[in-house]
Structure 1
């Protein structure tokens, strides 16, 4: 049966996550807010040229997970992916989390036509803030994990803990580049491209989709990953090996 969500009539209210940040989280949050204060103005005009695979990830997710009740996107930015998710999953409740108020203001206006099924939260996603969010069936991370440095592995572990057994994570992100100069350039934009994300995801989740794709004649690779939380075994093994 198709659900009928209320029709939106204005920008979506942005809800603050009521948590105290650690010093490291505060520093990282401040860096991201400063970075996106300008980047938010040009984000959707420029990111199509190098944030590859976002539509493909959502298409693969729809092929893998038929009817998720709820989806959270961590690092939802301007709402680009949430608007695609709203069309692909019309019966799912959607939530977006981001540290940047500037990006969320854009998402709030962009998504107002579907505001009845979407909630937006401002704050850093982590162990403390997850307690204030509903438990999702799917967590989406699109080009966010490579920018969470040095706490990217903690975010993956928190996603694992937040999901129910049988829940899903869907990730598209930078993988690696053979060009040292390009890696240094991207680090200036807070992006790490050392192939470090896939092994951590594989240590926590059972694979449904894994793709690594080169772009611009091999200048870099990006990856898609969709995995399922199958229970405690993968997590226990990862912790035993010091992950």
Structure 2
């Protein structure tokens, strides 16, 4: 990952903003409790964390990434934004990590995964790991490439061919897996396909239905 992002990180945000759709909508949906904790898994350049910290000034923000190159960029971004004191970054494997020694936090009120699952081969393990670190009443928010079911076949072919050049693979079955993880963790899943299935926005949250 460091080799891949050593140079890409400098143009990542400028180039990705045109096709990583739905990130800001996901952030607007977070609504963490006052003083709550928000962890982004696969935080990359820190773009989302800066926006989260600005949107929710009472939130305590944390970022995890396996790439030290990306974390270096994220650290610079948070410092430029004057938010280094509110955003703590750490290097770790999204499929298996212990947040206590990394962040001094055992669990989080909100966990965010934005366009990272499509770049991590064991993506199902990432979802299961994230759900295991939710606080009671916490929620997991995911946005990534969807099943593209509403897009014309030529557009789907071109999109997937182009994404493959960036080592990105839309995860077929993402919506179903979110539902499975929700059931396993005794929560419910809210899933919305956006832009003709270009992106999927999923939330795993407490099941408040009457017993």
The normalised TM-score by structure 1 is 0.72
Call closer, same or farther: CA 1:156–1:208 in 2, change over 3 Å. closer
Residue of 85, 94, 108 corresponding to 1:136: 108
CA drift at 1:80: 0.7
8 Å contact kept, 2:109–2:138: yes
> In 2, Cα distance between the equivalents of 1:126 and 1:75?
11
Larger radius of gyration: 1
Call closer, same or farther: CA 1:77–1:194 in 2, change over 3 Å. closer
8 Å contact kept, 1:75–1:99: yes
Residue of 117, 125, 130 corresponding to 1:145: 117
8 Å contact kept, 1:204–1:229: no
- Give matches, 1:40-55, under 5 Å: 40-55=9-24
**1:201 lines up with 2:178 in the alignment:** yes
Aligned-residue RMSD, C-alpha: 2.2
> What is the number of equivalent residue pairs in this alignment?
193
> In 1, Cα distance between the equivalents of 2:60 and 2:199?
28
Residue of 110, 114, 120 corresponding to 2:89: 120
Call closer, same or farther: CA 1:129–1:66 in 2, change over 3 Å. closer
CA drift at 1:209: 4.3
**1:82 lines up with 2:63 in the alignment:** no
Q: Show CA shifts across 1:107-162 (max 9, x none).
A: 1121121122211102322324445342211110010011111x100111111111
8 Å contact kept, 2:140–2:204: yes
> In 1, Cα distance between the equivalents of 2:30 and 2:35?
10
| Structure 1 residue ranges, 4+ long, deviating more than 6 angstroms after superposition | none
CA drift at 1:200: 0.9
Unmatched segments (≥5 aa) in structure 2: none
Residue of 203, 227, 235 corresponding to 2:204: 227
Structure 2 partner of 1:92: 59
8 Å contact kept, 1:169–1:226: yes
Greater RCO structure (CA 8 Å; 6+ sep): 1
More helix per residue: 1
The normalised TM-score by structure 2 is 0.82
**1:183 lines up with 2:154 in the alignment:** no
CA drift at 1:229: 4.6
Residue of 33, 36, 55 corresponding to 1:69: 36
